[in-house]
């Protein structure tokens, strides 16, 4: 968890919360990791009070779990969590696609086309580790094109929950290629002003995302659960 020190003009409570949230969602702080207030305060360069407040907020988001007299641990997403997130994100982006059809600008259509072409080029080069940035950009452009700030914000929020999985899954060639194919289908439907097909392709795309993430989650689930219980047990014993 090195390199967590914060430098920003944003109020300290918000900075600490955003920083820890991003570190957890990206996998920088792994599932099962014990979050020690004093250590985190030292790493980010603040007092323990904003750390404590941030951990409480993260617990309300179900990103961390607390154990009485022991402390906080990073928790993973369950399959139910993943299904809920993908379904909600799909509904949000289906609405975004429907709205975008009537008001997307030529500039944003061109940006979508460029994004898809760059994604295909990366896949062809075998540079799939860079795909997550282009994937994020595609969905950002789509939701921005809806003309709704709220739709864009909600899409970003639910996309963030899946960040760690998207980073890892999109490194896989076949998954990256399937994602870009989904983007291409959505783009063509928007160009054709076909609301029904645009919403269908968004739905198909999110079903593929769900399948990929669930498969990845199952592959790492056993080891993550084992680490979580081992660390939790160790912490309890140390406080016994």
Residue 69 sits in a domain whose CATH number is: 1.10.10.10
Secondary structure class of 181 (helix, strand, coil): helix
Identify the CATH number of the domain in which residue 123 sits: 1.20.120.530
105 and 188 belong to one structural domain: yes
Distance from C-alpha of 31 to C-alpha of 177, rounded to nearest angstrom: 28
84 and 104 belong to one structural domain: yes
Kindly report the pTM of this predicted structure: 0.78
Q: Establish if 55 belongs to a structural domain.
A: yes
Q: Establish if 237 belongs to a structural domain.
A: no
CA angle 169, 85, 226 (to 5 degrees): 60
Segments forming the whole domain that contains residue 24? 12-76
Q: Establish if 240 belongs to a structural domain.
A: no
Give phi and psi for 64, each to the nearest 5: -135, 160
Give the chain's domain count: 2
Q: Establish if 85 belongs to a structural domain.
A: yes
Q: Establish if 167 belongs to a structural domain.
A: yes
Q: Establish if 41 belongs to a structural domain.
A: yes
Distance from C-alpha of 127 to C-alpha of 119, rounded to nearest angstrom: 9
Q: Establish if 3 belongs to a structural domain.
A: no
Per-residue pLDDT of the chain (240 residues; tens, 9 = 90+): 556 665 555 688 888 999 999 999 888 898 889 999 999 998 888 889 999 999 999 999 889 998 888 889 998 888 899 999 999 999 999 999 999 999 999 999 999 999 999 999 999 999 988 899 999 999 999 999 999 999 999 999 998 888 888 888 899 899 999 999 999 999 999 999 999 999 999 999 999 999 998 888 777 665 554 554 555 455 555 555
């Amino acid at each position: 968890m090195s390199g967590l020190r914060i430098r920003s003009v944003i109020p300290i409570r918000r900075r600490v919360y955003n920083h820890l949230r991003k570190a957890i969602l990206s996998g920088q702080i792994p599932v099962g990791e014990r979050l020690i207030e004093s250590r985190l305060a030292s790493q980010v360069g603040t007092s323990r009070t904003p750390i404590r407040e941030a951990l409480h907020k993260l617990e309300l988001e179900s990103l961390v779990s607390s154990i009485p007299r022991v402390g906080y641990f990073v928790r993973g997403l369950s399959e139910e969590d993943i299904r809920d997130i993908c379904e909600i994100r799909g509904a949000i982006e289906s609405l975004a696609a429907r709205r975008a059809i009537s008001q997307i600008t030529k500039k944003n259509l061109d940006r979508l086309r460029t994004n898809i072409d760059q994604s295909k080029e990366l896949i062809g080069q075998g540079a799939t580790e860079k795909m997550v940035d282009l994937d994020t950009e595609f969905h950002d452009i789509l939701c921005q094109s809806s003309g709704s700030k709220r739709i864009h914000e909600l899409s970003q929020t639910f996309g963030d929950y899946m960040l760690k999985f998207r980073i890892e899954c999109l490194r896989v060639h076949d998954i990256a290629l399937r994602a870009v194919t989904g983007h291409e289908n959505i783009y063509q439907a928007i160009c054709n002003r076909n609301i029904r097909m645009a919403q269908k392709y968004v739905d198909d795309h999110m079903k593929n995302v769900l399948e990929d993430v669930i498969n990845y989650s199952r592959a790492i689930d056993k080891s993550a659960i084992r680490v979580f219980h081992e660390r939790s047990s160790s912490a309890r014993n140390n406080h016994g």
